Copies of this chain bind each other. A is one copy, B any other.
């Protein structure tokens, strides 16, 4: 049981460094130092080295973040306010972490997009999953599947783009503006006659 703890500690620590410093900005020595693990443990648990560790962290972080966001949406009274809550919640976390914790894989995704194909595929799998999950939920209130997917992608793009701007500017204004636009886009897709009963899950 002690071994499982070491592996998880390495994964958690790496995920945190990836969020703050990116993939190229994170060293393996840095990881084991912070995780209180011996250096050899990295290659014991991840024989593929930094790349394998990166793949697992990307998949894991992507899944965790998806569960976080879908949890927020499912806790909201309706889809529109759920989307708004996601942006508002992200703004709170951003301020609480001094503009460090935003999307767990965005920085890595851009770093590896043109330089490391296996890692690019790992980030693509995460984004695909997010888009599918968001489309599924939005489709509950936007019957047109193509339209639902377009809105889902736009909401995610607004969130990711706002993260870049907010972290760089050290201001939540982009997150607030993007959140308002996301809510408006979803409202428009739902349509005026359906907006009043935008609850999800109940036919």
Please list the residues of chain A having a beta carbon within 8 angstroms of any beta carbon in chain B. 20-22, 24-25, 98-100, 106-107, 109-111, 113-115, 120, 123-124, 127-128, 131, 149-151, 153-154, 156-162, 164-165, 167-170, 173-174, 177-178, 180-181, 184-185, 188
Contacts and interface: CB of A to CB of B under 8 A. Distances in A.
A177 B165 contact: no
B169 A162 contact: no
B161 A123 contact: no
A153 B168 contact: no
24 contacts: A20-B114, A21-B115, A24-B25, A98-B114, A99-B113, A99-B114, A109-B167, A110-B164, A120-B168, A123-B168, A124-B168, A124-B169, A127-B165, A151-B181, A153-B165, A153-B174, A153-B178, A156-B161, A157-B162, A157-B178, A159-B161, A164-B164, A181-B181, A184-B188
Q: How many copies does the complex hold?
A: 2
A110 B22 contact: yes
A153 B177 contact: yes
Given A127-B169, A157-B177, 19 more contacts: A20-B115, A22-B111, A24-B24, A99-B113, A106-B110, A107-B107, A107-B110, A124-B170, A149-B177, A150-B177, A154-B177, A154-B178, A154-B180, A156-B165, A157-B165, A157-B178, A158-B178, A158-B181, A164-B164
